[in-house]
Amino acid sequence: METFTIRSDRISATIKSGGAELCSLKTADGLELLWQAGQQWPRHAPLLFPIVGRLRNDQLHHRGKAYPMTQHGFARDHRFICLQYEPAFCQLVLYDDPETLSRYPFPFRLEITYTAKGADLEVGLQITNTSDENMPASIGAHPAFNWPLLPELTKEDYRLTFSDNEIAPVRRLKDGLMRAKPEPTPIQGKTLALSERLFDDDAIILDQLAGRSVRYAAGRGPSIEMAWDGFFELGIWSKPGGAPFLCIEPWHGYASPAEFDGEFVEKPGLMHIAPAETRSLRYRIRVG
């Protein structure tokens, strides 16, 4: 598997061709900020496409036919082609093939770009519908950051600070599907105090986001700010029972509601891309 390392004067990032997955993000002095795919979870920052979360019975229904579709889709397990690689820039692409069409009956082109610029890693996503019918899809990022970022700090030293007050109820999962009833948010104004117990019920899902960025930090040491454009939901996750990583996940889409088992095109949360059209989204990781 190929890897591509890009750099600025403040950060370095390594991307692998498998899944176009970010697998390292380091400060200029070499501190690794990204989870290194350890025993508790064997991934770093998978790309979620063409679904986010699970479908009921792991099946996608289209025009009366059922297609096998596992959690978070297949892009994370496919090899992307590198189109361009420069010292501070990398561009990768995935096209449909017979294997993807056996699971997702829509031709597509999925492009991801990584740019290192100062303290920022900018990530661009473009989904192009190359078919002659409307294409329903979801896409999401799933970066896992070390928690704590400095080994001498505790998990409870860390907070998430949102750009806006996040007062809307949150959603939770049961068996990977969205529970019907929203729950009171654990966020106090703009602040979420972090602890392992937050994730006893799996991910915290903000499906009525007010803001477009969040900062992950303790009182000292490095910080990470995630900002996004084109994503309308946010997942926050660590493995129930405790693991040394925290995932901050901008999404366009979410798991199927537990009661939904209809045609995929009718699933809540999808984008619908017309033939020959492209949908562009982006997010930024800023290292402080």
- Kindly report the CATH number assigned to the domain that includes residue 189: 2.70.98.10
Q: What is the pLDDT of residue 103?
A: 98
Domain with 48, as residue range(s), is 3-287
Residue 256 φ then ψ, to 5°: -60, 140
pLDDT tens by residue, 114-172: 999 999 999 999 999 999 999 999 999 999 999 999 999 999 999 999 999 999 999 99
Q: What is the pLDDT of residue 21?
A: 98
Q: What is the pLDDT of residue 204?
A: 98
Q: What is the pLDDT of residue 63?
A: 95
Instruction: State the Cα–Cα distance between residues 69 and 82, nearest whole angstrom.
Output: 26
- Residue 272: which residues within 8 A CB-CB, separation 6 or more? 134, 135, 136, 265
Q: How many domains does the chain have?
A: 1
Please state the separation of Cα 197 from the chain's center in Å. 22
Alpha-carbon distances of 10 from 25, 117, 218, 220, 272, rounded to whole Å? 11, 8, 20, 18, 38
Residues of the chain with pLDDT under 70: none
Q: What is the pLDDT of residue 69?
A: 98
β-strand partners of 22: 15
DSSP annotation of 275 reads T
Residue 235 φ then ψ, to 5°: -105, 140
